[in-house]
Amino acid sequence: MTVRVLIVDDSATMRSLIAATLRQDPEIEVLGFANDPIEAREAIKRLNPDVITLDVEMPHMNGLDFLEKIMRLRPMPVVMVSTLTQAGAEATLTAMELGAVDCVGKPGAGHTAIEAFADLAEKVKAAARARVRPFVGHVTKVEDTRSYKAEDIIVAIGSSTGGVEALMTILSAFPATCPPTVITQHMPATFTRSFAERLDRVSGAKVAEAWDGARLAPGHVYLAPGGEAHLEITGTTHLSCRLRHDAPVSGHRPSVDVLFESVARLNRPALGVILTGMGRDGAQGLLSMRQAGARTLGQDESSCVVYGMPRAAHEIGAVEKQSPLARMSSAILGICAAAEPQRSA
> Packing angle between helix 37-47 and helix 63-73, nearest 10 degrees?
30
For residue 330, give the H/E element and its range. Answer: helix 325-338
For 237, residues 6+ apart whose C-beta sits below 8 A from its C-beta are none
Q: Residue 82: what are its φ and ψ, rounded to 5°? A: -125, 155
Report CA dihedral (263, 264, 267, 268) to the nearest 10 degrees. 50
**Is residue 158 within 8 Å of 182, Cβ to Cβ?**
no
Q: Of 50, 186, 194, 329, which one is the catalytic site residue?
A: 186
Q: Of 281, 300, 314, 323, which one is the catalytic site residue?
A: 281
Residue 203 CB-half CA count within 13 A: 26
For every residue of 41-103, DSSP letters joined together read HHHHHHH--SEEEEESS-SSS-HHHHHHHHHHHS---EEEEE-SSHHHHHHHHHHHHHT--EE
- Is 186 a residue of the active site? yes
- Is 281 a residue of the active site? yes
Q: In the beta sheet, which residues pair with residue 28?
A: 3
- Is 147 a residue of the active site? no
Q: Of 82, 159, 160, 203, which one is the catalytic site residue?
A: 160
Q: Point out the residues that are catalytic.
A: 160, 186, 281
